[in-house]
Structure formats: structure tokens, C-alpha cells
Structure 1
């Protein structure tokens, strides 16, 4: 049997390549992939390489690469030092798109493999990593009950952030995007206010919703650096409003810091690895590992509603078609799943 992998071989070049199924050591187990989620933001940035040479992205894009970090699979064999009852369990892995992965059984707060609860479909569980990315933003935002939030971008991250902001206590969450398809995937709940920014000004809309005050929290998820000045104008002034940079913008941005200073706005970078504490403490137990557990637990309890989040599913053998579709127009897709069981 062969191990099929998705490989980016160059700019806008995707291949399916085969090599041997990895052999496991006594301290490892073998995972057979069931489903992977394409991260349309990170992966398409790596595939298109449309980044500024001066940006942090530039040195991270190297070919060939095995993209992806959102995989759910089943443990099919274990080494002699690994508990035998691991076989048959489903796990989430931050690994690339491939049919098989060998995994070290020993884990800690930086290297771990959450078990997927019974009742959570594998396709849904693939959203866990992006859920943890969003939790970093929610935690640094310190949303208070009744606050008004704006989410720029209604892709996967924006959708998850909107739902998690409500769970954290937000009274109103306006979500703005240029795609009606994406906006229509928001839960039909009076808390959520969809707004198509191709048809109007989001600054005027949030002022209208708040009686001219502006939003308590604005989340940037688009990675479009040119939107940041507009996002700042949505934030309530007076040392109350916060702009949370959830995304990794692909270009450099020009910010009028005189405006930021006079308005008393706080700008917070919410990088996933930077925000999550590496070790639990008395004051903060929220490591990435613990937030993975939290996200999966909310899925299992039905508190995190993912209805409609998957818009496309491809057999893994058709992965190239999936990327071609996204390169043509990513606004017409959201959650794109590769099914490795077909």
C-alpha cells in the first residue's frame, strides 16, 4: 500500500504524490486519515505566494511543501510501548494532507494529539485547529457581556469567531464580507448581523447599530492589510475599543497612529502560539492543548454550531480539483473537506 500526499511543488502547482506508508517505532502509532480541512487562508497564501518580500510570510513559503494542519484520522496500529486500546480511537493531528501519518505517542503542551469525542463527525472535528486560533483572539479580546463586536471576513475563521464571540457574551456580532454565500452561513440568530461590504460602508453600518459609538471589539480575519484603516474607524474611541489582529496579513499596512492615539484605540496581535500560554499556571490554564479540548467538548455538547460550515467535499484523489476551484474563486466556498475514506 502507498501513502498519498498533497504536495505544493511551486506557485499554483499542486500534485498528488505517493511514497511508502511510514513505519512506526515502539513509541509511535499509525494514523489512517479520514478527513482533512483545507485552510483557505494559509494554504492559498502558500500556494499563490502573493506576499510582500518584506513580510513575515516571505521566508515561510518554500517548495515543495505538504500543506495542511487540520486532520482527523483513526489509529490503526501501535508500537509495543503504546497502549493497545489506542487502536480504533480517532485523533486530531496538526499534520499535512496525507493518507497516513506516524505519530509519537509521548505528548506535552506543545506536541499533542486530542482524541475526538464520540458523536463528533470527523469532518466537523477538522475545524478544531482554526477554533483554537479563534480562541486566542477571543481570550485577548476579553469580551464583556453585552459588548458589540465586528468580524471582518466571513470565511471559516470569521464564522468560528462570530460564534465564539457570542458564547463569550457578545450581545451583537456584525459580520462583514463581500460574499453573500458566506454571510448566509451565519446562524439565523438575532445576535448576528450580516453585512455585505460590497454593497455598503461597514463603518456607517456599525455606527448605525451602536448609535454612533462604534464597536467594542473588531476582529480582523481577512489578511487584507488595506482594510485595517477602515477597521480602526469601526472601533469605539476612548480606551474602550479593541482591534484584534487574528489573521496574518499578506501585505504591509499603513496605519495613521495619530488617529489611533487620539481615539485611544488598543490594537492587539492575537497570534495563536504567542497568545496561548506554554504551561498551565494558577492565573492561566489556557494552553493550546486545553483549548483544543474546549473546542472539541463544545462540539460534542452541541454548543458550537457548525451547520452549513462545510460547503464542498472532495475525494482525496480529487484534491487538485479542490485547489483549482479555490484558486478560481474562493469567495464561493468556505469549509472544503478532503475525504480520505473514499
Structure 2
């Protein structure tokens, strides 16, 4: 991501919220957060989102095109817990010509939906790129000290990601809350 770009993040759980804050810290001009849960979208603004979209109320592709005056996002990042072929297609349609779509979330875990995506020749003609990442392509010995410095300097919000704390005997409730979209980051306490 380069300063001045428009970045759209699909999914604002713990990973997505960090993508929002990372894009804002890296100088993105427009940071668009997309999620089904309104309170997470409100929280995304605190982490640097300039625009939010709830796809149950508006078409994310059309809204991103409106925000970018018909150009599309320079980069779309898929951080949803499960990246389906339909979500991937939505993100790539919202990506500008020669733009990038990054898959961070899990793909292909739905037994009813194969982990394949049909080849779209128009997509190829538009020089769009799709690639995956694991752990953000970080180099831990370089990036972890830098992230710690950002946290210590108050520039990286980590404490604010924790929305719920659970005792170990509440583990089932923690999973249920996660599935229902009630948590950004939950922490298990071993007291």
C-alpha cells in the first residue's frame, strides 16, 4: 500500500481492524471498512476508517465506486473469517484497473463451496492482481520490534481491540459471541 491510495477492507474483526489501522497509518487517503455488523463499523472509524459500508443495506461495489468516482479501490483486503468465491468476486469488482486484492482470511473451509474461482478474462485484461498472504509477509525480527515501538508510542491501538474478557469456564460463550459478531478480540483470563 502506498500513501494516497484507497484501501477497502472486507471484515472488521481483529485482523480487519488492524488492516484498517495499518492502512490509515501508512497514509491511505481513503480507508473503507466493510462489515455486516454496525457496531464494528463504528469502531472501525476509531481505528482510521474514513468510510464504512454494511452490505446488508448497500451494494459494496457500487458504494466503493461512488466513493472513488468510478475508479475503484487501489487495494482490497479480504480479512473476513471465511473468504468465499462470491466475496472474492465482490472484492475484485471493487478493485480498480491494475489494482490488488489480498486474501488474508481463510478460504475454502465451507464444505458446500469449493475453494475455486472461475477465471474471468476481463479481470485479466484489466491487469488486476489477486494474492494471498500469511502473517502479512512480516519479518518477525524486524517487524515485531517496530510494532512494539508503535504501541509504546501510542500509535498502534492494541488494547482497544479487546472488546470482551472471558474466564476459562466461559469458553463456550466466547465462541458463541465470536460467531455472532459480538467480539472484535476476546481474551481468555486464566485466574
TM range (shorter): 0.7 to 0.9
TM-superposed CA distance for 1:307, in Å, is 5.8
2:6 alignment counterpart: 148
2:120 alignment counterpart: 257
* The one of 241, 245, 251 aligned to 2:103: 245
TM-superposed CA distance for 1:191, in Å, is 5.1
1:197 alignment counterpart: 55
5 Å matches for 1:324-335? 324-327=176-179, 329=180, 331-335=181-185
Contact 1:176/1:194 (<8 A) preserved: yes
TM-superposed CA distance for 1:246, in Å, is 1.3
* The one of 146, 149, 154 aligned to 1:297: 149
Q: CA RMSD in A?
A: 2.0
Instruction: Report whether the alignment pairs 1:161 with 2:161.
Output: no
1:204-253 per-residue CA deviation (whole Å, 9 max, x = no partner) reads: 1111011100000100111221200111000001x2x1111112212413
Instruction: Report whether the alignment pairs 1:224 with 2:87.
Output: no
1:153-198 per-residue CA deviation (whole Å, 9 max, x = no partner) reads: 0111110001001111211100001001211212447752111111
TM-superposed CA distance for 1:256, in Å, is 3.3
Structure (1 or 2) with the larger CA radius of gyration: 1
Contact 2:45/2:51 (<8 A) preserved: no
Give the helix-richer structure, 1 or 2: 2
TM-superposed CA distance for 1:300, in Å, is 0.9
Measure the CA separation in 2 of the matches of 1:300 and 1:290. Answer: 16
Question: Could you tell me the TM-score, scaled by structure 2's length?
Answer: 0.87
1:339 alignment counterpart: 189
Instruction: Name the count of aligned residue pairs.
Output: 184
1:280-321 per-residue CA deviation (whole Å, 9 max, x = no partner) reads: xxxxxxx22322222222111111124642221112233233
Which runs of no fewer than 5 residues in structure 1 stay unpaired?
1-142, 277-286
Contact 1:228/1:255 (<8 A) preserved: no
Contact 2:91/2:101 (<8 A) preserved: yes
Measure the CA separation in 1 of the matches of 2:5 and 2:147. Answer: 22
Q: Classify 1:324/1:150 alpha carbon distance in 2 versus 1 (closer, same or farther; 3 Å).
A: closer
Contact 1:171/1:191 (<8 A) preserved: no
Contact 2:8/2:73 (<8 A) preserved: yes
Q: Classify 1:161/1:333 alpha carbon distance in 2 versus 1 (closer, same or farther; 3 Å).
A: same
